[in-house]
Amino acid sequence: MRGVRLVVLAGLAVLLGGPRFARAHQFAPALLQLEEVSADQIEVSWKQPILRVQGSQLRPVLPIECAGVGDPVVRQEGTGMRATWRIRCPDGLAGKTVGVEGIATSQADVLLRVTLRDGRKLHHVLTAGAPGFEIRATGGRSGVFRDYARLGVQHILTGWDHLLFVLGLVLLVGWGSSLLWTVTAFTLGHSVTLALASLGLVKVPQGPIEAAIALSIYVLAVELTRRRDGRRTVMQRAPWLVAGSFGLLHGLGFAGALSEVGLPSAEIPLALFSFNVGIEFGQLAFIAAVLLVIAALRRLPIAWPRAATAVPAYGIGILAAYWFFERIAGLL
């Protein structure tokens, strides 16, 4: 019983000591769109998530020589708020610089999309280190690939719920070819639903999906405790099958994040592909880091108590349960 109490207390310490960790996917990227509708008229669209870091304030910074035309129209779209208005810019947007203030405190980058009158579409990610962008006659397909791949990497590496599920898979199957097939099945599963949902072929409310993702992590944590007790279950005999099935669910979660910034109409396949590439790159980097940590721990000359092997399973389970009830409460 002392060992069990130690495990539970360790899990609670992880939960209570890391509030940012427990938030999972609370902060989505913001989106600033500029479209030239005439020689000097620009349509501005500014969307940011309703939930954001307390005290942070994102604000678009438009060219000083541009003046507003009329009042902005504000409306709620899903989990974000969108404001649209027009500005008048002499000679259009070419050669001018736009940006966003407050990125450093928001814990989320800003996606910039610019459509010029000659048909060119520019895409760029504004960050805390580079909050401004000079609009030139460049960008194109390479810019779409770079920016959406970066968004994919950022999403997976700040998506603690998805990372916990991947961690659980690694702990469940261990080293070797079984891990390769299991991770591949998870990748194929979320790639399918990410594409279907992003293209509008499948529409599912994000609230229940996020709650179901948390529940899938809890189920995986329970499997880890059964593995520790020596019991063989379906998930342990065919982890690739369960990973692929849960991957379908997680792909809908990825699609929800991508819908916050949208897809460029002229480059939808490329943007979708590069976003998925970014997710896979971040996922593989995380798995490599986990395997290195496990290898390092095994080399330490320490006689670990048997209760210590249960810490990851209980820690994952406690966080998953917290997220599940938090998201269910949000739905109610």
What Rg value do the Cα atoms of the chain yield, rounded? 22
One domain, residues 204 and 305: yes
Grade residue 162 by pLDDT with cuts at 50, 70 and 90: confident
In a domain, 300, yes or no: yes
One domain, residues 21 and 54: no
In a domain, 152, yes or no: no
Q: Which residue has the higher pLDDT, 257 or 185?
A: 185
| pLDDT above 90: residue 261 | no
If you average pLDDT over every residue of the chain, what do you get? Answer: 80
| pLDDT above 90: residue 157 | no
Q: Over pLDDT 90: what percentage of the chain?
A: 16
Grade residue 7 by pLDDT with cuts at 50, 70 and 90: very low
Segment 148-157 mean pLDDT: 83
The whole-number pLDDT of residue 1 equals 41
Alpha helices in the chain (DSSP H): 2-17, 19-22, 140-157, 160-173, 177-198, 206-228, 234-237, 239-261, 268-299, 311-331
Give whichever of 21-30, 80-89, 100-109, 146-155 has the largest mean pLDDT: 80-89
Segment 76-96 mean pLDDT: 86
Grade residue 260 by pLDDT with cuts at 50, 70 and 90: low
One domain, residues 212 and 250: yes
pLDDT tens column, 8-17 = 334 434 443 4
Which residue, 79, 107, 139, sits at the end of a domain?
139
The whole-number pLDDT of residue 122 equals 76
Query: How far is C-alpha 109 from the geometric centre of its chain's CA atoms?
Result: 11
One domain, residues 20 and 39: no
Q: Minimal CA–CA distance to 286: which of 111, 125, 161, 188? A: 161
| pLDDT above 60: residue 4 | no
CATH code (residue 69): 2.60.40
The whole-number pLDDT of residue 98 equals 93
Query: How far is C-alpha 187 from the geometric centre of its chain's CA atoms?
Result: 15
State how far the Cα of 32 lies from the Cα of 37, in Å rounded to an integer. 16
Q: Is the dihedral of CA 210, 211, 216, 217 positive or negative?
A: positive
Q: Is the dihedral of CA 114, 115, 116, 119 positive or negative?
A: positive
In a domain, 147, yes or no: no
Grade residue 106 by pLDDT with cuts at 50, 70 and 90: confident
In a domain, 153, yes or no: no
Residue range(s) defining the domain that contains residue 133 = 30-139
One domain, residues 306 and 187: yes
One domain, residues 190 and 72: no
Which residue, 106, 139, 172, sits at the end of a domain?
139
One domain, residues 81 and 175: no
One domain, residues 196 and 317: yes
pLDDT tens column, 51-80 = 665 556 888 999 988 998 888 899 988 777
The whole-number pLDDT of residue 137 equals 52
One domain, residues 210 and 91: no
Segment 302-331 mean pLDDT: 84
Give the total number of structural domains in the chain.
2
One domain, residues 75 and 17: no
The residue written with tokens 């509008």 in the block is: 200
The whole-number pLDDT of residue 85 equals 94
The whole-number pLDDT of residue 286 equals 92
In a domain, 151, yes or no: no
- DSSP letter (8 states) at residue 309: G
One domain, residues 315 and 169: yes
Segment 104-121 mean pLDDT: 78
One domain, residues 242 and 120: no
In a domain, 154, yes or no: no
Which residue, 139, 172, 189, sits at the end of a domain?
139
pLDDT tens column, 279-306 = 889 989 999 999 898 888 888 887 767 7
Segment 22-30 mean pLDDT: 56
The dihedrals phi and psi of 293, each to the nearest 5 degrees, come to -65, -45
Task: Indicate the length of the chain as a whole number.
Answer: 332
The whole-number pLDDT of residue 229 equals 62
The whole-number pLDDT of residue 56 equals 66
In a domain, 150, yes or no: no
Segment 142-152 mean pLDDT: 80
State how far the Cα of 287 lies from the Cα of 27, in Å rounded to an integer. 23
The whole-number pLDDT of residue 88 equals 92
**How many CB atoms within 10 Å of residue 54?**
5
In a domain, 170, yes or no: yes
**How many CB atoms within 10 Å of residue 176?**
8
The whole-number pLDDT of residue 139 equals 53
Residues 6+ apart with CB under 8 A from 32: 44, 45, 46, 47, 60, 98, 100, 110, 111, 112, 113, 126
State how far the Cα of 169 lies from the Cα of 34, in Å rounded to an integer. 42
The whole-number pLDDT of residue 230 equals 62
DSSP for 186-251, please give it: HHHHHHHHHHHHHTTSS---HHHHHHHHHHHHHHHHHHHHHHHTT---HHHH-HHHHHHHHHHHHH
The whole-number pLDDT of residue 105 equals 80
| pLDDT above 60: residue 213 | yes
The whole-number pLDDT of residue 40 equals 87
The whole-number pLDDT of residue 43 equals 94
